[in-house]
Amino acid sequence: MIDRDLIKRALAEDLQGGQDITSVATVSGDEKIIANFTARKSGVVAGIDMARAVLEEVGLTDIAVLVKDGASIKSGEVLMTVRGDTRAILLAERTALNFLGHLSGIATLTRTWVDAVAGTKCIIRDTRKTTPGMRLLEKYAVRMGGGTNHRMSLSDAALIKDNHIAAAGGVAQAFSKVREKFPTSEIEIEVDTLDQLREVLPLKPDLVLLDNMSPAQCAEAVSIVAGATKLEASGGITLDNAKAYALTGVQFLAIGALTHSAPVFDIALDLRAE
């Protein structure tokens, strides 16, 4: 996946209308080098196409991509090689690594969560807790890690939360207003208690979000619902207890940390003379 407008903005941000004064001062402009994008740890890669597009944006064309997004990689593995003008490679270096490291970090963390619930039917799903302007890329990275996307935007589906319920005057009122105005849209309702779950079931929501419930409460919710709707658990879920939540029978675990707390994956650009 490539966002060329974002790449242009990132490079422009680096230059701020000027030039790379360090490279202009230290590199004559005639040098050609080879540079390897090398993983410094093991994980899952995402953002290879973005990194390659950054290189292309500064005029580099001799690029060899050695792995695909979604691939498991090992520490020391070379992911991509570029040959060409030294100044151009140095200009592209940080922007390419920023995209590649950030997206690979999301993919790697997502794979860790997916592995944590392996052996169950539960699906790891992301949220809208994304970096402004980077949602499509970050949710793409989640998919590369084996997770699933929730809503891309507020128009994809309705998610009735406590503030909507308060504004509408109640759960039933909020649900009926959404159904009346958007009769074909999927409707998800957030509940904080099992009593609220029982209250919303007659409305026939497409999905119910169980907010900050324990695994025991989620298991009871599965029993109450008895297949009438899908359930998603959110809040208080960690890698240590993810399997316990998954084994309750809920269909999804909503994990905002996939995108808002993923550590940057350590990738370096190693230069050598042509």
Q: What is the CA radius of gyration of the chain?
A: 23
Q: Can you tell me the distance from the alpha carbon of 200 to that of 195, in angstroms, rounded to the nearest whole number?
A: 9
* Nearest of 88, 94, 106, 90 to residue 1 by alpha carbon: 106
CB 72 within 8 A of CB 145: no
CB crowding 198-213: b at 16 or more within 10 Å, else e: eebbebebebbbbbeb
Name the residues annotated as catalytic: 94, 129, 161, 190, 211
How far apart are the C-alpha atoms of 126 and 227, rounded to whole Å?
A: 23
- β-strands 123-125, 158-160: how paired? unpaired
Q: Cα dist. 233→38, 112, 176, 242, 263 in Å?
A: 37, 18, 24, 10, 23
User: Which token pair is 137?
Assistant: 């890329």
Question: Per DSSP, what are the bridge partners of residue 210?
Answer: 191, 233
